[in-house]
A and B are shown apart, each in its own frame.
Chain A
């Protein structure tokens, strides 16, 4: 089985209240050095056999069509996961 990993992030200019909530909690745990937190989404799509270029192209299309909303989000990466991992 192969895996395609897709990362989606809110666009930098879009407010991220979830990231802000996480960012607000870090100092309470002693992590004072982080000035901002942005939270994103990772999708892992599984295919039979090895990941092909066709799989990657289809995954990129799915990422634009369903997995992200281009009004507020960017598809940061679409890649095959190393099968040894």
Chain B
């Protein structure tokens, strides 16, 4: 079981993502932004950070990196892919997920232990959660406001594609308090908070990030 972690110029959380993969007993494979090669991995993580300095728009330049030429068709073909924070922004810029992420409505960088409610456990990355389960993982970003037009939001809600919703106060102005979404097929998930920072006791607010990674192992084995 091999999980690829993409490193873009400016990625920050690729090492933590790889560590989370190893924490559940899988092999972490480094994928380089400049190589259109997925190295035969079974799933891919687009990690957090500030790819290309967040210039132009967050994720907009990373979306055209050579590795994305290989990843986009693979994801459309069913490869499990998760985008965390900047990775979520890359997925939206790639149109693998609908909507966009804009600057937090309060204009400040957030760094908080964030409560989320898991609403969809049918995805490749969330099957080890319970519907309605509340989890706490770190949210840390300046541009985490999820936006989309009303028909898109209604479709996401109607199709059960809101995977995570912020519990308590809205931390960044995201429409309908959406923290994470999935595609129709459920293999692609994007979210702003960071499960990879919550996989070991003593580091982070919980170990609520672990089920993301155990879920994808099962998804691959059962595929």
The answer to whether A and B assemble together is yes
Please give me the residue from chain A that is nearest to B63 by CB atom.
A66
Complex alpha-carbon distance, A66 and B57, angstroms: 9
Residue A1 CB within 8 A of the other chain:
no
Per the 8 Å Cβ criterion, residues 84-128 of B in contact with A are 92-93, 98-100, 102-107
Residue B148 CB within 8 A of the other chain:
yes
Complex alpha-carbon distance, A4 and B102, angstroms: 27
Residue B60 CB within 8 A of the other chain:
yes
Per the 8 Å Cβ criterion, residues 5-38 of A in contact with B are 10, 13-15, 17-18, 20-21
Please give me the residue from chain B that is nearest to A71 by CB atom.
B100
Q: Which A residues are CB-close (under 8 A) to B149?
A: 13, 71
Residue total for B at the interface (Cβ-Cβ under 8 A): 21
Complex alpha-carbon distance, A63 and B45, angstroms: 29
Please give me the residue from chain B that is nearest to A65 by CB atom.
B64
A15 touches B107 (CB 8 A): no
A18 touches B103 (CB 8 A): yes
Q: Mark A22-62, 1 if CB is under 8 A from B, else 0.
A: 00000000000000000000000000000000000000000
Q: Which B residues are CB-close (under 8 A) to A10?
A: 102
Interface bracket on A: 10 to 19
Q: Which A residues are CB-close (under 8 A) to B99?
A: 71
Q: Which A residues are CB-close (under 8 A) to B104?
A: 17
A14 touches B107 (CB 8 A): no
Please give me the residue from chain B that is nearest to A41 by CB atom.
B56
Q: Which B residues are CB-close (under 8 A) to A71?
A: 92, 98-100, 147-149
In whole Å, how far is A13's beta carbon from the nearest beta carbon of chain B? 8
A15 touches B105 (CB 8 A): yes
B107 touches A69 (CB 8 A): no
Complex alpha-carbon distance, A66 and B65, angstroms: 12
Residue A80 CB within 8 A of the other chain:
no
A17 touches B64 (CB 8 A): no
B56 touches A15 (CB 8 A): no
In whole Å, how far is A45's beta carbon from the nearest beta carbon of chain B? 14
In-complex Cβ contact of A21 among B56, B107, B145, B148 (8 A): B107
Whether A17 touches B147, Cβ cut-off 8 Å, given contacts A69-B57, A69-B93, A71-B92, is no
Q: Which A residues are CB-close (under 8 A) to B57?
A: 69
**Which among A10, A17, A18 has the highest number of chain B CB atoms within 10 Å?**
A17
Whether A14 touches B64, Cβ cut-off 8 Å, given contacts A69-B93, A72-B147, is no
Residues of B within 8 A of A (CB): 56-57, 60-61, 64, 92-93, 98-100, 102-107, 145, 147-149, 173
